[in-house]
Amino acid sequence: MTPLSPKAVSAPGKVFLAGGYLVLDRNYTALVFGLDARIHVCIEPIQTNSGVTLSEIIVRSPQFKEATWEYGYRLTEQDGGIGVTQLRASHDLPLNRNPFIQTSLTYALTYISSHVPHHLIQPSQISILASSSYYSNHGHPPSPTTPFHAYDVPLHHAHKTGLGSSAALVTSFTAALLSHYLPKSIFDLSSDSSLRILHNLAQASHCAAQGKVGSGFDIASAVYGSCLYRRFSPSILSSAPDPGTPQFATKLKVLVEDSEHVWDTEIQKSAIKMPAGLRLVMCDVDCGSETPGMVKQVLAWRKENMEEADEIWKALQRGNEELARELTRLATEDAGPGDKYAKLREIIKANRGLIRKMSVASKVPIEPPQQTALLDACSNIPGVIGGVVPGAGGYDAIVLLVEDKQSVHIELKKLTAGWKVDAASDDGVKIGRVGILGIREDMVGVRVQDPADYKEWIAA
């Protein structure tokens, strides 16, 4: 067998600028930006002695302690795909499970086996590296030449900042496996058809790993970057077969390659551009929200108050489309005299008003008073166009659209460094430290990287 060559891929995190609850309904769209916080995955073959056959894949997250997973894989009966089993490093040690890695491996190897014979899936070692912005833990770069931080904790003790790490992981991990094992004639990240395959396979893997069919916006932005997104019909994946069941491999191939044209998602990259001179800034708030609980409450309120909810959602949809149009207009046309960002300010202000209206009506803290105070204070800084509490809302972050000038960043840092709320609000929640995350928007989705960039981590 010809030895395979190392491959490396990265995929971005995400932030919702508009459409956090609307995205759950196919009648509406969401404006989602990719972020330059990326998950990187490097895959390389494991060298074996002549005549030795291994069916093993080792996955490492070398930034963290005790973050190694070893898997065996085999072809199952009745077209059930590739079965993946986690191996114990020692009988004395408990299995440290990672459902996102194991599920992605199962789905990707099964799809790969539908194109290449099982015996060509050679053993490999996979390394996962994440931008430091994904975690609020204090880390340090082990050398001056690496952009990645090392953390003195196991992965399950890492505190996430909510940038969509699981979707970025599933996307980059799946893309690395497909790029490594499939010939370029079948899978090539520079082709639109391969991006569609990656999107569909990553959506299926991510939904299976999290045990539910989500809206899929985070996978879409990880694959395609910043876009205007309309979700797929949940029935596409809710009826998908389970790994190991008869015909799983064939049915997965049909689903992923969309042979029956079932994928009705809409991803419009051309609908959104970032004007030169503007950027996104994210502030991490030391508090946090329980997103699934908030979503359930909002959906329950909408069901009981359909007329009021639909009125707000339709107005928000118009505002979201206006925001995308205005950003793209500023990126492609001469703005003319006067305050060129005046309309953008008005749109963001109006959208925030609608979000607060929904927040009060549903009794869910989508934009709670503590975040209103912080957003208002930031928006009063010259050069800050406006901001929102992204996604499902709550207490854990804000995102700002600002002029990309040093003076604006200095004033923002001053404000956030000294920001404090003297007492808890009526809801009993007191937000703590506010910090600016070192990230910005990234219009590009998944991309090929140079495996040589990760050598010091792989060798560690």
Encode pLDDT of 62-77 as tens digits.
999 989 999 999 999 9
The pLDDT value recorded for residue 81 is 94
Helices (H) and strands (E) in the chain, counts: 12, 13
End-to-end CA distance of the chain: 28
The pLDDT value recorded for residue 335 is 65
pLDDT tens-digit map of 174-202: 999 999 999 999 999 999 999 999 999 99
The pLDDT value recorded for residue 459 is 67
> What are the residues whose beta carbons fall under 8 Å from the beta carbon of 292, sequence distance 6 or more?
none
The total of other beta-carbon atoms located within 10 Å of residue 143's CB is 9
Question: Domains in the chain, please, with CATH?
Answer: 7-269+443-458 (3.30.230.10), 278-437 (3.30.70.890)
- d(C-alpha 188, C-alpha 194), whole Å: 6
- d(C-alpha 55, C-alpha 443), whole Å: 38
- d(C-alpha 387, C-alpha 384), whole Å: 8
Amino acid at 193: S
The pLDDT value recorded for residue 117 is 83
Beta strands in 245-374 (DSSP E): 266-268, 278-285
Residues 13 and 418 sit within 8 Å (Cβ to Cβ): no
What are the per-10-residue average pLDDT scores of the chain (460 residues)? 86 91 93 95 84 79 92 94 86 79 97 88 94 87 90 86 90 98 95 97 96 92 95 92 94 91 92 93 74 86 95 95 94 79 96 95 92 94 95 87 96 90 57 83 96 86
- d(C-alpha 460, C-alpha 458), whole Å: 5
Output DSSP code: residue 294.
Answer: H
Residues 23 and 29 sit within 8 Å (Cβ to Cβ): yes
The pLDDT value recorded for residue 284 is 82
Q: Which tokens is 107 given? A: 């789905």
- d(C-alpha 325, C-alpha 328), whole Å: 5
Tokens 């809710």 map to which residue?
Answer: 238
Q: Which residues of 83-106 are buried (b: 16+ CB within 10 A; e: fewer)?
A: bbebeeeeeeeeeeebebbbbbbb
Radius of gyration of the chain (CA): 23
The pLDDT value recorded for residue 109 is 97
